[in-house]
Structure 1
Amino acid sequence: MDAVIDFINKIIWDYILIYGLLAVGLFFTIRLGFVQFRLFPEMFRTVLGSGEKDRAGITPFQALCTSLASRVGTGNIAGVAVALYLGGPGAVFWMWMVALLGMATAYAESTLAQLYKIRNENGEYRGGPAFYMAKGLNAPWAGALFSVSLILAFGLVFNAVQANSIADAVEGAFDIPKLWVGIGLAVATAAVIFGGIRQVARVSQVVVPFMAVSYLLTSLYVILTHITEVPAIFTQIVSSAFGLDAAAGGVAGAMLNGVKRGLFSNEAGMGSAPNIAAVATPDPHHPSSQGLVQALGVFIDTLLICTATALMILLSGALVPGSDVTGTPLTQAAMRVHFGSAGEYFVAIAILFFAFTSIIGNYTYAENAMTFLGVGGRAGIMLLRLGVVLMVIWGAYESVTTVFNAADASMGIMATINIVAITLLSGTVFKLTRDYQAQRKTSRKPVFHVQDYPELASKVDGSIWTRNDAGGR
């Protein structure tokens, strides 16, 4: 079984997705006229100008924070260190490139998720890739396969992985037994997810900005105290990316590891973040505005937080090619250089926050998938929540490689289905983008009117998108 799963992962991740996600990012970047650059200032307006009041959804800022809760995890600390170890400083440059392309992909998938969202039995917004596959492509079977894969990967197994990272870090820094860490983490997780998506959103909008700003301020302190070395570090990053120095990995290693780290971290095209994007009440009331919000999420995750980790490592001198120090230990070694023994505690606390928010963020994706499968009632959601809590306890003290590899395969399957779906629906994304831009150019606040799109009238929820103004409900 291990050999079969490893073979599937190699085919999907080393061939289909690495090139597929890059191609899709480039495709949407060109087709949408470099939307991630032209509308970059608009991304901040769509997040901060959340004046819409709609009890059926969460605010755009909450949606951004919840998606960042899932995106920003242990990979931003350990994964970046691995990419640097295997690919050298040049990996950072390719991380940046894949994030810039990924912003267009994230925009497209989240715009579609907004367009095809529905109301659940409680009148709350739900949606995501499964919904636009079923409604936009008339392929409910693809939506079902996607949903099952998402629940297995994000809802259950990846939460065990995050719990395992927390337990390792806390035990190493504070000498607390893993089982007790797992139980404490499970209690904290239950306190949040048993309140549903709204509770996750409320917690995320407080915790995520705190952890992100704290981490970025720490990195800023390191940069300022080594300001004279920063130009040389950036020169090294660029020269290493093109094989112009003798850094570990060479140009191929830098590109491969940077691309992988970028794709895995920002999740653009994976089909995960659109699940929470669909839950938001967009402001302006147009599907494209929530696409812009989630494009900003990719920027924050990779171009800010991953870069912060990379710079702290490179400025420390702890990166030694050929040594056995990589992953979390490499980041810890770098922080010891900058902050002494307190650096280890900082990394442990950062992992605690990053991984915990990933757990609660991942849960929201799984709840959306349960709704699509028709098991999103009280009993089904209760089983999901209990499953998440139990996986957190189990993952804290157990590490079963086969199970984790199976989750990678599941995520690979869902991502493959998603990039095919958004490519087939690219014409709709293009029309929505053109409409948004045309309205914005006239100094009007963009509003989506489904009656202007007769081909979509039978596919979207008319009670959501048929309005005389932006605020009528």
Structure 2
Amino acid sequence: MEFLELIFGKIGDLTWGWSLIPILVIFGCFITIATGFVQFEYFTRMFRVLSNKNNTGDPDQISAREALLVSVGGRVGGGNIAGVAVAITLGGPGAVFWMWAIALVGMATSLVECSLAQLFKRKVGEKTYRGGPARAIIHGLGKEYRWLAVVYAVCLIAAFGLGFNAFQGNTVAGAVQDSLGIDRIWTGIGLAAISGVIIFGGIHRIAKVADVVVPVMAIGYLLMAAAVILLNITSVPGVIYDIVANAFGFQEAVGGGMGAAIAQGLRRGLFSNEAGLGSAPNVAATAEVRHPISQGITQSFSVFIDTIIICSCTAFVILLGDVYVPGAEGIDGVALTQQSMVSHLGGWAQYFLTAAILLFAFSSVIYNYYLGENAMTVLTKNPMGVLVLRIAIIGIVFLGAMAPAATSVFFFSDPMMGILALVNLLAIMMLFPVAMRLLRDFRRQLKAGVERPVLNPDDFADLDIDREAWKAPAA
């Protein structure tokens, strides 16, 4: 075991330690410039997905909004509550600015990776699609790159399907035990049972649940944060000044100064919004849309919601309070967020935050499961593979909740996610000319007065796209 930990530790050092974050940042900036700042060009268009009139109207198909909410439910999790607190503790208030910066850049990366996932999706059954980076590799780069898709799929199952679900179970059980005094075993049983009911219903049930749970959890958390901000409205300008001043080294809140702020902001921002990591495209591909770029725009909006809105709420709750003391050792992580909320609103707020953590973690569990399921279908066509994965994930959620020390077994999760991200970025780089073709087609139709652009597969006849998934528009 020590040898394995050493090997995976080295992999983690080689990916997250020095190579991956710079590559994500540099490539994100390149995409932003090469696409003409596409995330700002279509920013107002992102909000259209919230309207029912832009959905398919078919209850048996997954709409763009449902795909958005599933991905938001997966992105929004412990990173938005505990991760932001860690970033501020280690990097100072300036880390928040760099979280914002990487989110704005990541919006372009997410648009491209999710548009490619949509283009190369495959129709499965009557009204279901499967796609994602693995299928984009196989059908976009060619069968000779299938080995790369297999590496991606194995890493996706290991990191998201198994490892991160154990940690989510642990997070929920710990929060419930600390605030409500309920034994971990009961939380584990409840979480595993509810998760089982949903994941055995497949992506359609997951999407329907996310359509209800995610708005409730996000709006509830935003209202709490808004109450804190309004109660301290006169202090908000000072907090914003501290964030910007610390970000550029005009103030030094922690050891390491500006360097610590940049490092923590970029790292925690990328962990939270997952732009470029290759996870969200798996969900993006399930939606029924008219043009791949449409879902890319929607998923870009998901990054904005996760980091610019929800992470900012956590940051302001912490920085407007008096629990956080810059540079001082003490509480951090979820405890810092929880105690900051209590200092603003009273003791009852800790129970609200426990409920928020429960919903955040629950939405992440079902999201992580679907990523694992989608990867399993790349590795094997045998339905027993998906069945075994479902049973394993239910057991892992329970194990992580009941025995927190068991999560140490999943030390490979972060290194596997590092490999996953590098494979995904390599695929995006190789397929970027295709993404630019899609973007040019989308812009051309808008310029011609088409309100909602439609992909004509005949215009991409040289590509291996599924004609059942993309039918030529009626004459």
1:468 aligned onto 2:473: yes
- The one-letter code sitting in structure 1 at the alignment partner of 2:330 is D
Give yes or no for contact 1:46–1:292 (8 Å, CA) kept in 2: no
Could you list the runs of 4 or more consecutive aligned residues of structure 1 that deviate by over 3 angstroms after TM superposition? Answer: 53-57
Q: Distance in 2 between matches of 1:46 and 1:172?
A: 38
1:122 shift after superposition: 6.0
Q: Distance in 2 between matches of 1:118 and 1:66?
A: 19
Give yes or no for contact 2:342–2:350 (8 Å, CA) kept in 1: yes
Q: Distance in 1 between matches of 2:402 and 2:63?
A: 36
From 397, 403, 413, the equivalent of 2:402 is 397
Secondary structure in structure 1 of the residue aligned to 2:321: coil
From 190, 197, 200, the equivalent of 1:194 is 200
Give the TM-score normalised by structure 2.
0.95
1:175 aligned onto 2:178: no
1:405 shift after superposition: 2.3
Give yes or no for contact 2:163–2:407 (8 Å, CA) kept in 1: no
1:401 shift after superposition: 5.6
Q: Distance in 1 between matches of 2:94 and 2:316?
A: 12
1:236 shift after superposition: 0.4
- The one-letter code sitting in structure 2 at the alignment partner of 1:381 is V
Residue 417 (structure 1) aligns with: 423
Q: Distance in 1 between matches of 2:50 and 2:428?
A: 23
- The one-letter code sitting in structure 1 at the alignment partner of 2:119 is L
- The one-letter code sitting in structure 2 at the alignment partner of 1:188 is I
From 446, 454, 459, the equivalent of 1:452 is 459
Residue 32 (structure 1) aligns with: 35
- The one-letter code sitting in structure 2 at the alignment partner of 1:300 is I
1:268 aligned onto 2:285: no
1:54 shift after superposition: 5.4
1:10 shift after superposition: 1.4
Considering only aligned residues, what root-mean-square deviation do their CA atoms show, in Å?
1.5
Give yes or no for contact 2:98–2:247 (8 Å, CA) kept in 1: yes
From 87, 92, 105, the equivalent of 1:83 is 87
Give yes or no for contact 2:249–2:258 (8 Å, CA) kept in 1: yes
Secondary structure in structure 1 of the residue aligned to 2:233: coil
- The one-letter code sitting in structure 2 at the alignment partner of 1:3 is L
1:206 aligned onto 2:212: yes
1:186 shift after superposition: 0.5
From 93, 103, 109, the equivalent of 1:105 is 109
Residue 287 (structure 1) aligns with: 292
Cα 1:55/1:184, change in 2 over 3 Å: closer
- The one-letter code sitting in structure 2 at the alignment partner of 1:107 is L
Paired residues for 1:47-446 under 5 Å:
47-48=50-51, 49-53=53-57, 57-120=61-124, 124-138=128-142, 139-249=145-255, 250-282=257-289, 285-320=290-325, 321-375=327-381, 377=383, 379-398=384-403, 399-400=405-406, 402-444=408-450, 445-446=452-453
Give yes or no for contact 2:170–2:402 (8 Å, CA) kept in 1: yes
Q: Which runs of 5+ in 1 are unaligned?
A: none
- The one-letter code sitting in structure 2 at the alignment partner of 1:252 is G
Q: Distance in 1 between matches of 2:362 and 2:126?
A: 27
Q: Distance in 1 between matches of 2:389 and 2:186?
A: 22
- The one-letter code sitting in structure 2 at the alignment partner of 1:59 is S
Q: Which runs of 5+ in 2 are unaligned?
A: none
Q: Distance in 1 between matches of 2:330 and 2:171?
A: 19
Give yes or no for contact 2:166–2:399 (8 Å, CA) kept in 1: yes
Q: Deviation per CA, 1:27-76: give whole Å up to 9, x if none.
A: 11011100000111111224534242457740001000000111011111
Q: Deviation per CA, 1:90-139: give whole Å up to 9, x if none.
A: 00000000000000000000000000000225652001000001111121
- The one-letter code sitting in structure 2 at the alignment partner of 1:403 is V
Residue 20 (structure 1) aligns with: 23
Give percent identity, aligned residues only.
46
1:402 shift after superposition: 4.4
1:376 shift after superposition: 5.7
Q: Distance in 2 between matches of 1:79 and 1:303?
A: 14
Secondary structure in structure 1 of the residue aligned to 2:249: coil
Secondary structure in structure 2 of the residue aligned to 1:452: helix
- The one-letter code sitting in structure 2 at the alignment partner of 1:198 is H
Q: Distance in 1 between matches of 2:389 and 2:283?
A: 17
Q: Deviation per CA, 1:226-270: give whole Å up to 9, x if none.
A: 100000000000000011112114100000000001000000011
Residue 45 (structure 1) aligns with: 48
Secondary structure in structure 2 of the residue aligned to 1:422: helix
- The one-letter code sitting in structure 1 at the alignment partner of 2:147 is W
Q: Distance in 1 between matches of 2:169 and 2:351?
A: 17
Q: Distance in 1 between matches of 2:410 and 2:166?
A: 9
Q: Distance in 1 between matches of 2:346 and 2:57?
A: 48
Cα 1:349/1:46, change in 2 over 3 Å: closer
- The one-letter code sitting in structure 1 at the alignment partner of 2:214 is V
- The one-letter code sitting in structure 2 at the alignment partner of 1:160 is A
Which region of structure 1 is more displaced relative to structure 2, 61-70 or 241-250? 241-250
Q: Distance in 1 between matches of 2:239 and 2:415?
A: 36
1:443 shift after superposition: 2.1
Q: Deviation per CA, 1:157-216: give whole Å up to 9, x if none.
A: 111100000000000000011111101110111111111110000000000011001101
Cα 1:292/1:259, change in 2 over 3 Å: same
